[in-house]
Amino acid sequence: MNCIMALQEEYSFSLCLSGASDPRLPAVVRGAFYDLLTDLWIDRHPHVQVVVPTILRNLPNAESASTDDIPSFVLEQEEIPENWSDQHLRSLPEEVHSFFKISSPRKMDALVHAVNHFLCSGKSLEQQVHSDIDHNIMLVAVLRCLKFIFRYGFIGSVRQVQDMLGPLFRCLDGRTDWFFAPDPGQRSQATPSPDDGQNSEGAMLESLKPLLQSVQSNQPPQIFQYPPLENAADRYIACDLNVDVMACKTSIVQILLHILNYDQHIKITHILQKFRTVARDTLQAQCEMPDSILDDVSTW
């Protein structure tokens, strides 16, 4: 915590966010800014991890309440860490005080937008190049930041989750990764005939429809290409080029497993809402609650 207190004044949230979002900077520098955002501004006081799914909860207060809400960050009470002196509190810039008084998950909306914009950059991200070490280092930092964003509840809606699912699944699919960077235009060459499965140079290529292609998109469906098979085995050996790529895949799996917990949370919310509605209607009818209510809720 002492390191955070020393660095937060020099590396403000706005400075780190600007550095992470600036495409003119080298990828490794942008990745370093994402690490600073994670360590200085997310994984720290007064943020606490949000447990998903929430097991202990109150019944929904109103029938009109949304049943698709996901657990998110709420600053219930501002508490000052015991090791913060009065002198340190007085020395903090007003930007720091204002930032940590924000009590809703929207305080990180700018960072969530930056991460989502990077993830939705298309084939340059979804088809990883093992030899592009700098870009892979940055992607490791972005995914680490995204893990903490989910863990601390700064994703406030199901829509935000849905926007990220497609790019994450397509990036996880290592069949479309390249070991060495392809020539310009090679990523988007024409789909080979299903009869021969080869391009004009005789290299084996297979067309691949992207995972979770949006059905509402106005863009024509993209076709990814499998890379040539002559260096396919090199993508699965233990070497320096593969370390960061495998770290990216591992982080994506961890994020997707966390998203699955959101699904469990929403199902529990639907069950509680159903139970509350049936119980209220039964009490208004002034009759005993029938056993069928529990059967109805358990089979929902």
User: What are 234-267's pLDDT values in tens digits?
Assistant: 877 888 889 999 999 999 999 999 999 988 888 8
DSSP state, 102?
-
For residue 213, pLDDT beyond 70 = no
pLDDT at 122: 85
Taking the C-alpha atoms of residue 38 and residue 58, their distance in angstroms, rounded to an integer, is 32
Mean pLDDT confidence for 218-237: 67
Q: Does residue 231 have a pLDDT over 70?
A: yes
Task: Give the C-alpha separation, 287 to 34, whole Å.
Answer: 59
Is 297 or 141 the better-scoring residue by pLDDT?
141
Residue 84: name the closest of 96, 74, 98 by CA: 96
Mean pLDDT across the chain, nearest whole number? 78
Q: Do 154 and 42 touch, CB atoms closer than 8 A? A: yes
Rounded Cα gap, residues 34 and 239, in angstroms: 25
Burial class of residue 263, CB neighbours in 10 A (0-12, 13-18, 19+)? middle
Q: Which pTM was predicted?
A: 0.78
Burial class (CB in 10 A: 0-12, 13-18, 19+), 269: buried
Q: Helices marked H in the chain — which ranges? A: 2-7, 13-21, 27-36, 86-91, 94-101, 109-119, 123-126, 133-151, 158-172, 240-284, 292-298
Q: What is the DSSP letter of 40?
A: I
pLDDT attached to residue 146: 97
Per residue in 170-198, pLDDT (tens digit) is 899 888 888 888 776 555 543 443 344 44
Nearest to 75 by CA among 103, 100, 117: 103
Mean pLDDT, residues 114-124 taken together = 91
Residue 4 has pLDDT above 60, yes or no: yes
What is residue 207's predicted lDDT score, i.e. its pLDDT?
Answer: 44
Q: What is the mean pLDDT of residues 45-52?
A: 86
What's the pLDDT score for residue 238?
A: 84
Q: Tens digits of per-residue pLDDT, 129-181?
A: 999 999 999 999 999 999 999 999 999 788 889 889 999 998 998 888 888 88
Confidence of residue 71 (pLDDT cuts 50, 70, 90): confident
- 44 pLDDT more than 90: no
pLDDT at 268 over 90: no
The ranges assigned to domains in the chain are 2-76+83-181+205-213+220-267
